[in-house]
Amino acid sequence: MSQQTTIMALLVLAVGTYLVKAVGPVLASGRELPRVPARLTALLPAALLAALVATQTVVSDTSLVLDARAAGVAAAAVAVVLRAPFAVVVLVGAGTTALVRAVGWA
């Protein structure tokens, strides 16, 4: 496959991807989602963030690990339950992780 063919294939795929993504909003413009899908759509960012945090906390390369990151997330979760401001939650999580690493527990 030549370089020109590869570039042309990439351009066609890029335009096709853009068109597929644009079709939904164009066809649904002016209409609102039904109540249940709208509520689920509102919850997606939180669920995706939770999944990202969970995988980044307990996965290292190809194995599961419990280290200082887990302690930091647990401490941040306690701060959230206590309704601490976001900046405090982040500082508690980061501080706990740093402290656990400094002590050498994980």
Task: Give the per-residue pLDDT at 95.
Answer: 97
Q: What is the pLDDT of residues 30-52, one digit of tens each?
A: 778 788 988 888 899 999 999 99
Residue type present at position 32 = E
Task: Please report which confidence band the pLDDT of residue 6 belongs to, taking 50, 70 and 90 as the band edges.
Answer: very high
CB 105 within 8 A of CB 68: yes
pLDDT at 106: 65
Work out whether the CA dihedral 56, 99, 103, 78 comes out positive or negative.
Answer: negative
Give the separation between CA 47 and CA 6, rounded to whole angstroms.
37
**Phi and psi for 13 in degrees, rounded to 5?**
-65, -40
Q: Cβ–Cβ contacts within 10 Å for residue 24, how many? A: 9
Q: Where are the alpha helices (DSSP H) in the chain?
A: 3-28, 35-58, 68-81, 86-103
pLDDT in tens, 56-106: 888 888 888 888 999 999 999 999 999 999 999 999 999 999 999 999 886
Q: How many degrees, rounded to 5, is the angle at CA 43 between CA 27 and CA 56?
A: 115
Domain boundaries, the chain: 1-31
Question: What pLDDT was estimated at residue 60?
Answer: 83
DSSP code for 34: P
In the numeric block, the tokens 């590869």 are attached to 6
Structure tokens at 58: 């307990």
Instruction: Say what the pTM is.
Output: 0.60
Predicted confidence band of residue 12 (pLDDT cuts 50, 70, 90): very high
